[in-house]
Amino acid sequence: MEETARHPSGTDSTIGFSYAAFETLVREFAESVPALLLQHRETADLAFAVERLGLVDSLRTRFTVAIIGQMRVCKSTLLNALIGRRLAPTGVSETTATVNWFRHGEGDRCERFRVHWNDGSSEDHPLEAVAQWLGQSDHATRTQALDFFADSPFLRVANIVDTPGTRSVLNTHEATVRGFLAERLEAETLHHGGRADAIIYVINPVARQDDRDLLALFEERTRPPGASALQQHRRDAEVGASGGWRRGAPGRATQMPAPAGATGRQGGRGHPRQRHARPAGCRAVAVWDQVARLATASHADVLDDLLLSDDYFCRDHPAAPLDSATRRALLERLSWPALRFCLQLAHQKQIDQGAALLQQVRDASGIDRLQQVLQARFFALSGLIKAGTVLRKAWQPCDQALLTLRDLTERRHSALQRADQAAALVQGLMGSTPALRLVLDYVTDSKSAVANEQQRVEATWNQLDRIRTRVEQGFRFLDADLAYLEQLEQLGSDELPDPAERAELRRLFGGNGSSIQQRLGLAPDTPLDAAIEDQVWDRRDAWATRRVQASRGLAPLCAHASDCLDRILEHLDHQTRH
């Protein structure tokens, strides 16, 4: 019988380190568990419950990011900034009236959107017709969801879901978004690409109780183990991403630093509030050159007059370097809040070139930082997050099956005891009643059948418990990586001043990839020989020693680093012996 290496904490070292290895465990779980449960009539219905979860299919679906929040906080504009194209309708009034999916597409597919009607039918329409689905339109009320397509780098990695705002003037809007979060639309969601694996929640500068209520609903109804809400803060902007963001989860809320240059709150001449993302779709350098020229060639008093309102901006002004018609054309290309911000920014920093202004606006928006966070914290770990989403549901039928099988075992054991008692009683009476031999034979045969059934039930219980435990241990270990990567992000430079140590911890926690070579910072084809094992021992001892002397914030990270290296050593030892 093959010997299994054991981790010092009692876990199975063969569960692997990579997400690919973990997915193999999930596939084994999906294939084995229903077959085990079908062996017994009492657990057969639970087998179908596990099969319906579609564990293997869930690993194949694309990663999905949902954008939620109250109405008029510019969820759609943030989405446009993420994908780099103005697809989602935007405006100062309520626009999004359906759950809208944004997916990767190419060619002509990107010039049309798909309507999924409430009656189950679908049809395509040109993008120009999307206005018919805004607000309180009849089309919107008869629509289940819309699909949009773009050849965007972001959409090559993940789908995006744009949801109607809460606190909507239309009650049906709020019911739609809460239904999405509460999984009432789960069948449709899974059919169209899988339920959201990450949430970007867009809020105003000061969160309201309604925001807290909706986030609590998200945590209660939809958050799987290891998943977190990525809360995107809007700083009074009508265009796109926030100046600051944070990622939080129950028990480990995290305040992340705002991107550089995106923390300003107060407006006024010379101090624009840095709060807007680049308006997607307005990339023509000529437009930005005009904005830069208007900002830098205008006297401060003239610019103040123009920025009083969008109406004043379009009026004739003899001292303005651009005539009213040109300014009106700018306003048609850029929303008023975006244009006002860009003019303030260009005037403050005297940016007279459109390309430079465009880059400054993007830097101020924090959109690049948000994309980096999504990539590092979500897309790179999508296998674990998606598997964890479904595994959370699989635990319940598995645990119920284990309890049922345990109860069956106890009942069979009790039946065997009663059979022994009955056999002894019959044997005692056989001297006076030989015909009781038939009863004794029946009791003996029945006891044998019950004993065989008990053995089958115990074998099923052991197999189910073993595979469930292995998958859960693998998930817990990889899920701990997520938690400690987040803690590492929070850790101050005073507690861990050495950049090399910080980089090593990130590698060990799977931040650069989850294979052993990636965790150790080695090339993919590096052989894991005795020399590597010696280096691992040295680093394991170093982090174990460091843990004793570390601060309260650093000590858990040192412990997890030591744990990671222990697992690697156990794995290397297991490979050597087999």
Residue 262 lies in a domain: no
Is the domain of 447 the same as that of 532?
Answer: yes
Please indicate, yes or no, if residue 448 is contained in any of the structural domains: yes
Question: Does the residue 432 lie in any domain?
Answer: yes
| In a shared domain, residues 344 and 220 | no
Which of 381, 407, 442 is a domain's end point? 381
Q: Residue 301: what residue type? A: D
Among candidate residues 330, 357, 381, the one where a domain is terminated: 381
Check whether 480 has a pLDDT greater than 90.
no
441 shares a domain with 304: no
Query: Which pLDDT does position 326 carry in this prediction?
Result: 93
| Number of Cβ within a 10 Å radius of residue 518 | 18
| Six token digits for residue 104 | 């990767």
One domain, residues 246 and 342: no
Q: Cα–Cα distance between 317 and 441 in angstroms, integer?
A: 111
d(C-alpha 281, C-alpha 90), whole Å: 12
Instruction: Tell me if 94 is assigned to some domain.
Output: yes
Q: Are residues 102 and 222 in the same domain?
A: yes
If asked whether residues 206 and 336 sit together in one domain, one would say no
Q: Is residue 274 part of a domain?
A: no
Q: Tell me what pLDDT residue 187 has.
A: 38
Q: Pick the more confident residue, 367 or 429.
A: 429
Domain annotation covers residue 182: yes
Strand order in the sheet with 229-233: 122-126, 112-117, 143-150, 99-104, 158-162, 63-69, 198-203, 229-233, 244-248, 254-255
Domain that holds residue 98: 63-250+371-381
Where is average pLDDT lowest: 389-398, 441-450, 542-551? 389-398
> pLDDT at position 172, please?
52
Residue 178 maps to which CATH number?
3.40.50
Q: Which of 255, 343, 358 is nearest to 305 (CA)?
A: 343
Same domain, 212 and 111: yes
Number of domains in the chain: 3
Per-residue pLDDT of 131-149, as tens digits, reads 887 766 778 778 888 899 9
User: 195-243 pLDDT, tens per residue?
Assistant: 577 778 777 655 555 556 656 655 555 444 444 444 333 332 323 333 3
Most confident of 57-61, 168-172, 563-567: 563-567
Q: Is the pLDDT of residue 411 over 80?
A: yes
Residue whose pair of structure tokens reads 């084994």 in the numeric block: 28
Report pTM.
0.57
- 54 with 68, same domain: the answer is no
Same domain (yes/no): 241, 359: no
Looking at every residue in the chain, the average pLDDT score rounds to 76
Asked if 36 and 44 touch (Cβ cutoff 8 Å), the reply is no
Q: Supply the DSSP symbol for 511.
A: B
What pLDDT shows up at residue 214?
A: 58
Is residue 470 domain-resident?
Answer: yes
70 phi, psi to nearest 5 deg: -70, 165
User: For residue 305, is it within any domain?
Assistant: yes
First to last CA, the chain: 12
Domain boundary among 381, 415, 442: 381
pLDDT at 189 over 80: no
Tell me the mean pLDDT in the region 525-536.
91
Beta strands in 289-426 (DSSP E): none
DSSP codes, 3-61: ---B-TTS-BGGG-SSHHHHHHHHHHHHHHHHHHHTTSGGGHHHHHHHHTT-HHHHHHS
Based on the fold, state whether residues 397 and 331 are members of the same structural domain: no
In this prediction, residue 175 carries a pLDDT of 54
In this predicted structure, what is the pLDDT of residue 190?
A: 33
90 and 209 co-located in one domain: yes
Q: Are 113 and 189 members of one domain?
A: yes
The fraction of the chain above a pLDDT of 90, given in percent, is 35
